[in-house]
Structure 1
């Protein structure tokens, strides 16, 4: 296999590249050369995917059996559309890493492939679908942009040559958002640890290496398709995650579970201040059964936690990203909420 990975230097893109190289594939990467270093063994091409000349230069290095696009998260659909058009003559199929946020029902409803997707034209610019001022709901702008980017890929490659993968939460070594690293570091601090909501709440984060392996798997298949990419529904819980953080780090911290209502009354920002905590019904009810049917396997959460801790202990540092600053609750606020909960 000869593949092109757009991105390829950090987190998911790097996991894709490293796995492909282990399998003996020829890998070309395309990125700006600003975030992370190129993986030894690739053919690195540096350029801006929004620049037509750079795209033409990239296409001249083809052909490829597949393109795996891991870096379009902040790009408007029209940029993805232009890139797909430039690469279509020199690649057999396109694997696009999207998100569960494209669903109109996210995060309030259980989701499965075939459910309604947000609006988003394939040629939309970065302003399309922006949330109105003061909007407190889910980030519909992000979902609409990614939905438009999906349509851009399918517009160019057709459904028979497009693989659209929609992960939920991705964790594992190299994580740049800082969700699991925050919980691990919080476990190390010990003491009374604010544990959010119902300990029996099921969660379904997926390991970055499993997403990478699945993307490489579909890149070898023909026919195209759309798949959600998550761990099985109900396999693990929030209690499992936090206890694993304590056990893995050897912490003597004590988990103190505080009900959702108290957290909401205390103004805790869902999803970020206590990472992975969210009260919406559908957030951890994403059906990925179609992906399992074509080869997705998900390692136990215990392995993800242990390997992420080992990465941090070895001096691993994520590529800096602005989203990381939003994660984690201030110790003073945590202590105040625990004190309030104790009085109730």
Structure 2
């Protein structure tokens, strides 16, 4: 295929571009050119910033935009009639927070006026309809893997690599749903080739891994120098630690955890979604981090994650 990737140098976009190239597709990257990898240069927020896309034809377009939805609408409208398929990499954040499960593609969505990431992603979905052809809305769950620029798995790997007693938020058997960015890339390219249309929850089946397996693998990958001290969720919450941000990936058992980790994925699995073992995700991410000197890139539109070492020491001392 001739594939146009809008972005292509960050996390999901880079994985899509690399997977498309691996398959032998002809890949065009459209971005601001700040990282040196751009076939076409433009800024979607600038006046006339889409001029480089005013000509050309593609079989598939993959759009990972996370800011204002109007940029998606303008781009989709401009490419209307000149591409065969449009994928918008959205998010399960478009679902109304704590909507009752199982969280299928028919679950209620946030209001269009919602501010922040969830609202931006929903407005991006709405804007993508301006394409006028088949549009895949890839509602990704927790995305991990090489090139991660949010910092969740990199933070855990770097913390565990330091060794010594390490806070491990329990329970060990807490089930997790996630998607390796490379599996997300494979799914959206396969879907584009088949001209799939509509929303799909793109995340592993519930229970793909557990908090225990994830951190045990992180310890194994980084040399096994950490002593994981599993800590009762109530102790952590009572301390005022914020799940998901201060302790990435983790929510204590309860409504938030259920919302984030029990999505219905039958539609995507039926359409060919396959998720690799979490061992590959953890070990490959660590290898990538080592190639960078263990300092992962950080998006400037996402808050930094991780637990203050002083708070961790306090929690460990109370055990």
Q: 1:80: Cα distance to partner?
A: 1.3
- Identify the residue that residue 149 of structure 1 maps to in structure 2: 124
2-side partners of 1:324 and 1:309: how far apart? Answer: 21
1:296 paired residue among 269, 273, 282 = 273
Q: 1:59: Cα distance to partner?
A: 2.5
CA contact (8 A) 2:160 2:226 kept: yes
2:163 paired residue among 187, 190, 205 = 190
* 1:10 aligned onto 2:18: no
Change (3 A) 1:324 1:104: closer
Which consecutive residues of structure 1, in runs of 5 or more, have no partner in the other structure?
121-127, 131-140
* 1:238 aligned onto 2:211: yes
CA contact (8 A) 2:87 2:135 kept: yes
Aligned residues: 314
Q: 1:33: Cα distance to partner?
A: 1.2
Change (3 A) 1:97 1:263: same
1:95 paired residue among 83, 87, 104 = 87
1-side partners of 2:57 and 2:308: how far apart? Answer: 51
Q: 1:52: Cα distance to partner?
A: 5.3
SS in 2 for 1:117: coil
- Identify the residue that residue 73 of structure 2 maps to in structure 1: 81
Aligned counterparts, 1:158-177, within 5 A:
158=132, 161-177=134-150
* 1:337 aligned onto 2:315: yes
* 1:285 aligned onto 2:248: no
- Identify the residue that residue 221 of structure 1 maps to in structure 2: 194
Which region of structure 1 is more displaced relative to structure 2, 326-335 or 106-115?
106-115
1-side partners of 2:125 and 2:81: how far apart? Answer: 19
Change (3 A) 1:106 1:216: farther
- Identify the residue that residue 263 of structure 1 maps to in structure 2: 236
Aligned counterparts, 1:98-109, within 5 A:
98-106=90-98, 109=101
RMSD value over aligned CA atoms?
A: 1.8
Change (3 A) 1:129 1:171: same
Q: 1:187: Cα distance to partner?
A: 1.2
* 1:273 aligned onto 2:246: yes
